[in-house]
Structure 1
């Protein structure tokens, strides 16, 4: 950074990210400059010559280098908004994406009806990570209780932190478990954004994902479907009568996942598209045997 005025710093940060081929250079530069300096873009317009201390410029240089080397803006800042709540991130968790909000949207009508019928509802979020799905739903329904399950102790620590920040920690419990291994009891809803990337495709993902997201939260096995088989095979034992299973899926996986659940006597009841128009979330209900 050569200029010391706030407006100059915005321009230089944007130019540096643009030169490095960052597609979202304008937005990324604004977010990072605002975070490091504590001054928003409006302040840069009002007081373009506001001086910034050298130590802050040095910090900004370091952060821009991290962005150029593939670390996402939200990883650098350490938090990200999701469905109206703000979540802390950690090295043990995926960075929640807007596409996952499709899963939250899909299950809201189901939970609303369930709560209307029973006064309260319980859900379990498998592979909870930051707690994004469970906490967003707890934020929507004060009559809801949730258990966040993860095999990673670090992820569960992050989820607990986020439950506290969201103000729902009294209705959220964190459980360390490899899928259903340590799960007991029955729930109205099982939700999950499981790993669904085929193993051999992970290396071809965006740098931000490959370098900074935990691989075990991405790798769904050779065909990307192993977690769905696990969930389908155990879900019935942990669902109350009339309960449901809701899952995020990858591009083009609907038919295979529908077949996996049909083999376990589940029927597809709902589909939700993501912001790009792709089928992103499925809702299954158990077929009651006579």
Structure 2
């Protein structure tokens, strides 16, 4: 059987199973079996594959027919042009999260951040991508899952960043001391009971997806933890991908922060020493970056993706 024949047959099976991009899935899985980059494999699709390779490929295709994500089948996912190992203990990195890396880079155009914090680090893709762009910076990734933290540490070693990255098991930033110049956070933001695609709902870690009835529980916990002495020009970044407006009212420690934060979008809540700040987003159809105020000195940024929202 040739590579072309194997991929054609597999793509038909995957299409019948309702997968959205069956041909690409077939190409990625066959390249994984053959141990070569997909584009290299496609140079000569007339080449024969061995019976053992056919069996291995068919086994992976059978897994994909159940809607198991390709990244979990191959154990790898590209993010920021870097290859990251992923497991069912971590969310699969998605291209739209690269906007957080872009925002961090634009916030420090000249001086690099000395210390970077990544809350809910998962595979470590955000932190390690930022460290890759800022030689000399040091970063700490926090995750409540020990298995996820171990995956992130392995990715740091694979990328040669193990001397500049540390990963700890903890509940957000509560156990940390000291200050950070840049804080990254992509916490769970899905409300309980919201519909998800089968491959997300059945395979990705529930604790990294859902955050209470309205999807905002973890934001309510993170914001008060930012209320610690920040560096003079600290930046905190978070993103939202939910397609409808929300309202968040949090009541952090009165002595540390304002008594109330209000926003119409589940990102970093807006706050200032002058009082409540409201954010209005008008049909934002492209990536939008808003500086939405300060939390005890941190300039907070809301990164929204392909939003269509009205305040």
Using the size of structure 2 for normalisation, the TM-score is 0.79
C-alpha separation in 2, matches of 1:163 and 1:281? 30
**Is it true that 1:217 corresponds to 2:208 in the alignment?**
yes
**Is it true that 1:83 corresponds to 2:80 in the alignment?**
yes
Q: Which moved more, 1:156-165 or 1:232-241?
A: 232-241
Q: Which runs of 4+ in 1 moved over 3 A?
A: 38-47, 256-261, 263-269, 278-288
Residues 262 and 79 (structure 1), Cα distance of their counterparts in 2 relative to 1, 3 Å cut: same
Residues 47 and 159 (structure 1), Cα distance of their counterparts in 2 relative to 1, 3 Å cut: closer
Task: Give, in angstroms, the shift of residue 67 of structure 1.
Answer: 0.7
Alignment of 1:44-193 (within 5 A): 46=44, 48=46, 50-115=47-112, 120-193=113-186
Residues 283 and 147 (structure 1), Cα distance of their counterparts in 2 relative to 1, 3 Å cut: farther
Task: Give, in angstroms, the shift of residue 250 of structure 1.
Answer: 3.0
1:285 maps to 294
Alpha carbons 1:189, 1:239 under 8 Å: kept = no
Aligned length: 275
Residues 43 and 169 (structure 1), Cα distance of their counterparts in 2 relative to 1, 3 Å cut: closer
Alpha carbons 2:77, 2:83 under 8 Å: kept = yes
1:246 maps to 237
Residues 66 and 243 (structure 1), Cα distance of their counterparts in 2 relative to 1, 3 Å cut: same
Alpha carbons 2:120, 2:144 under 8 Å: kept = yes
C-alpha separation in 2, matches of 1:225 and 1:103? 19
Residues 113 and 47 (structure 1), Cα distance of their counterparts in 2 relative to 1, 3 Å cut: closer
C-alpha separation in 1, matches of 2:109 and 2:130? 11
Q: Which moved more, 1:216-225 or 1:277-286?
A: 277-286
Residues 52 and 280 (structure 1), Cα distance of their counterparts in 2 relative to 1, 3 Å cut: farther
SS of 2:163's equivalent?
helix
Residues 283 and 112 (structure 1), Cα distance of their counterparts in 2 relative to 1, 3 Å cut: farther
Unaligned runs of 5+ in 2: 247-262, 298-311
Unaligned runs of 5+ in 1: none
C-alpha separation in 1, matches of 2:271 and 2:27? 48
User: Greater relative contact order: 1 or 2 (C-alpha under 8 angstroms, separation 6 or more)?
Assistant: 1
Deviations 1:153-184 (A, max 9, x none): 10110000111111111110111111123211
Task: Give, in angstroms, the shift of residue 267 of structure 1.
Answer: 7.2
Residues 280 and 216 (structure 1), Cα distance of their counterparts in 2 relative to 1, 3 Å cut: farther
C-alpha separation in 1, matches of 2:110 and 2:289? 22
Deviations 1:1-29 (A, max 9, x none): xxx22221121111211222211011111
SS of 1:10's equivalent?
helix
Residues 183 and 41 (structure 1), Cα distance of their counterparts in 2 relative to 1, 3 Å cut: closer
